[in-house]
Amino acid sequence: MRVVIQRVSHASVTINGTCKSAIKKGFLVLLGIEEADNQEDADWLCKKIIGLRVFDDENGVMNKSILEAGGDILVVSQFTLMASTKKGNRPSYIRAARHETAIPLYEYFCNELSIGLGKQVGTGEFGADMKVELLNDGPVTICMDTKNKE
């Protein structure tokens, strides 16, 4: 699994002109799933995201987690995170999981993240044409990959 985590002042996802989810301060999480991913990968990512200390404390130092900052989370599935650009100029998405693997894992990830956060996370709609808006705060953008835990 790959994620791009952006600390945001606000973010939303709109589908067919209707706002599906919107958050204020928190994280916009773009999630890519490959066929080899499993619940262990989701659990590891959820723990890392909830514990990530990138919100300012009273001294203006990035030292608080999303729990301590009282933030929200919006999760958007994004198969293009699994793109391979090794050959040619047209990305290959062969590593992206098929719907029958990705949808249950996406739902599991969102549910586990909601449990860790102590409130419902916002979501997009798997496979939909989504318009995502955000105001990156910082900017703070962090990438994680369960196959390369650095």
Query: Which residues are known to be catalytic?
Result: 78-80
Give the residues across from 9 on adjacent strands.
none
Q: What is the biggest distance separating any 2 CA atoms in the chain, rounded to whole angstroms?
A: 49
Contact 17, 130 (CB under 8 A): no
Assign 80 to helix, strand or coil: helix
Tokens 């979501």 identify what position? 123
d(CA 84, CA 145): 14
Tokens 């998405």 identify what position? 93
Residue 102's φ and ψ, nearest 5 degrees, are: -70, -40
